[in-house]
Amino acid sequence: MAREASSWRVIRLHHVAFAHHGDGPAAVLTGLLGLPCTHQEAAPGFIERMIPAGEAYLQLLESTGPGVVEGFLDRRGPGLHHAAFEVSDIDEAVADLRSRGVRMVDETPRPGGMGTRIAFVHPAACPGLLLELVEVPSAGAASPDDQMAERS
């Protein structure tokens, strides 16, 4: 479904999420590659860890109990969970996609990690790939380091 002219736009790849059990992947990435975990927060059923790599993050989703991450792991095992794109205006993006008949997991944006607002596009819209739209708290395309500094 081609996108027509609209006032919202994709700014950049924000993160790629990897679902897993245990905290092993974070230790491996920080130890093996020297990439620091710059953000961690608990959500119902999982711990989110953000590891900046260039202009984007690797998001590690560690299952801690019942919820969406555990359900994913039960069905598919550890692996790619979703790809997330920072958008200029999440309200406009969701409204535009919905107006074009795109199936959404989130009909309206909701709070996400690191103070963001997020909305998921159903994997049926992009065969097999769950997409997340992300609006960062500050306007523009701040780098991961800038975003971390803003939250400190």
**CA–CA separation, 125 and 122 (whole Å):** 6
pLDDT of residue 116: 96
**CA–CA separation, 135 and 16 (whole Å):** 15
Does the reported pTM lie above 0.95?
no
In this predicted model, what pLDDT tens digit does every residue of 120-135 receive, in sequence order? 999 999 988 999 999 9
**CA–CA separation, 90 and 111 (whole Å):** 11
In this predicted model, what pLDDT tens digit does every residue of 134-149 receive, in sequence order? 999 975 444 444 444 3
Supply 91's token pair.
């309200």
**CA–CA separation, 141 and 147 (whole Å):** 9
The CATH homologous superfamily to which domain 10-151 belongs is 2,3-Dihydroxybiphenyl 1,2-Dioxygenase, domain 1 (3.10.180.10)
**CA–CA separation, 55 and 142 (whole Å):** 9
Confidence of residue 29 (pLDDT cuts 50, 70, 90): confident
Mean pLDDT of 67-79: 95
pLDDT of residue 135: 98
Q: Which ranges of the chain would DSSP assign to H, the alpha helix? A: 24-32, 68-76, 90-99, 144-151
Cα–Cα nearest to 53, from 30, 27, 79: 30
At 13, which helix (H) or strand (E)? Answer: strand 10-21
Task: Count other Cβ atoms within 10 Å, centred on residue 58.
Answer: 19
Cα–Cα nearest to 9, from 152, 133, 151: 133
